[in-house]
Amino acid sequence: MVVLHPLSDFIDCDFAIADSSCSYWYEGRCPQSGVRLKLPRTSMSEAIAHGLIQYLAKNDCYSHEGKMYGILLVELPNGEQRVLKAFSGLLNGCSVVEGWVPPIPGRDEVAFEEGRTLTELDAIKQEIITLKQLTERQQYEILFNDFEQQLQIMSDRHRYCKHQRQEKRQQICNTLTAEALTIALEQLDEESRQQGIERRQLKRQQKKVLQPLQQIIAATDARISELKQRRKALSRQLQAQMHASYSLTNFSGRSQSLQELMPGGSPTGTGDCCAPKLLHYAATHNLKPIAMAEFWWGGSSANQNKIPGEFYGACAERCQPLMGFLLSGLRPNSPAPFPHFLPLRERREGGVRSPSPDRGGVWGEVTLPIIYEDEWLIAVNKPAGLLSVPGRYRNRQDSVLSRLCHLLPDGMALISVHRLDRDTSGILLLARDRQTHRQLSQQFQQRQVHKVYEAILSGVLIIEQGKIELPLWGDPENRPYQKVDWQHGKPSLTHFQIMAREGDYTRVEFTPLTGRTHQLRVHAADAQGLGITILGDRLYGCRAVTSRLHLHARELRFNHPQLEKTLHLQAITPF
């Protein structure tokens, strides 16, 4: 089965030579040495992945079920480069598909047991579905609601009668005496007793009718609970058997089972993800990994919340714990998984450090061009795909701030003054001390900083210029997506100016006066704004296949807090 593909199946090979910038690191510590090992997701591997996306988009069979796909760029012993591709789990019910990396060895050893267990699990599933559709449930619901309605009508009538009796008691106490009063009061008490009997009779009738149904439903629910426990036990048993059989091999030639690698237990599907399949295959076929990329394609359920065509890192539960072992054994001279740090060169002019023309901090193959720096602040040209500051989770630690912390002698003291979206490139400003940070932050808050962005819209905009003023709100259940919300949203204002119309696209200049999350992206995409998404903005509906979000923070003008002069910083738009 052919699984090694030429680069020409996915991209123009000239791209492979021209661009090797990185947007994400697959990483983990070697279990033996403790050394942190890294494998990048480069712009080249992303371009290869986009080529695969185009192929998937042309074939409906890949769009029915949502899943992760991945590619691994590898080098053969003779120095030639090839591409491996993989899917997570099963593809249209099959684990082995022509042209794709096969599953990790181990599944075949438990194939019979897996088939028997899956058949039993399916039978359990069908029985649970049947039991949940029990007709007695509907009967009980209808009868219960009917009795409740009767009881409510009776209660309302009895309440009215009680009120009437109270008024009669007052009346007869004032008008009747002796024996006539006693008889009248006894009649009212008897009426009250009869209504109590009437209510108890209806309750007894309700119990007599509903109790048999309740018993059937309770027995059914107990059976469902029993089936669910059985299903859970079977799944755990099968998972344990598979994890004991699954054997992963790394680049030092060492093999271990999933059970050995994750003795505390592992989630369902561990070992079936793209990254382990790709790296295991490369390790067992003498292939050197250069770069990897994983993306989602197909439908997405509410709990997955994944965007088709969007790149994702190693999943924290299944893949990340295996990454250190899988990368172990890669040669130290391999440029991709072993990033190196080049020291920053400095030269002084009049006591203020300024960048030399080729100045830049290097992290692996990615540069951070320094636009301006002095003893109080530093401005860099952030590449697309890199976070401004570290994220909350382990796989989102790579950022401008964390890189500068390693690259600069005073890096640990740096504080980001503002942020750019991960996929937005351009000028990012950082302060070197808290006082400068506070003064610059105040300028941003008071809207004294002039910001200019350049973008390409994925369509033709007819109007030449104008302003967009919309209230934006981020739904806490669907982060980081923002939307226009006239009830909860915060005000946002953007001026725009057409720069050029280029075929089916429009180059536009944005000047935001506020700084809401995703402000320009929503102002462009929303029908109440421009109604045209920024090219490459998959989160807000752009379906064009492109290597990046075409949004760039081009200019930043502000007052230098210490030098008391206006700084006007500019970064050339890279698209």
340-446: CATH topology is Pseudouridine synthase (3.30.2350)
Q: What is the pLDDT of residue 451?
A: 95
Q: What is d(CA 548, CA 423) in angstroms, rounded to the nearest whole number?
A: 7
Q: What is the pLDDT of residue 369?
A: 85
DSSP 425: E
Q: What is the pLDDT of residue 359?
A: 35
Other C-beta atoms lying within 10 Å of the C-beta of residue 45: 31
- List of residues 6+ apart from 465 with CB closer than 8 A: 495, 496, 497, 498
Residue 520 tokens read as 């320009």
Backbone angles phi, psi at 169, to 5 degrees: -60, -40
CA angle at 297 for the pair 295 and 298, rounded to the nearest 5°: 160
Q: What is the pLDDT of residue 242?
A: 65
User: Is 421 annotated as catalytic?
Assistant: yes
- pTM, two decimals, is 0.44
Q: Which secondary-structure segment (H or E) carries 501?
A: strand 490-502
Helix extents (H) in 318-428: 320-327, 400-407
Q: What is the pLDDT of residue 93?
A: 78
DSSP 8: G
447-575: CATH topology is Pseudouridine synthase (3.30.2350)
Residues of the chain where predicted confidence (pLDDT) is lower than 70 = 1, 12-21, 106-114, 239-245, 263-271, 300-304, 331-367, 392-396
Residue 99: helix, strand or coil by DSSP? coil
Q: Which of 421, 423, 526, 537 is catalytic?
A: 421
Q: What is the pLDDT of residue 510?
A: 96
Residue 349 tokens read as 């002019």
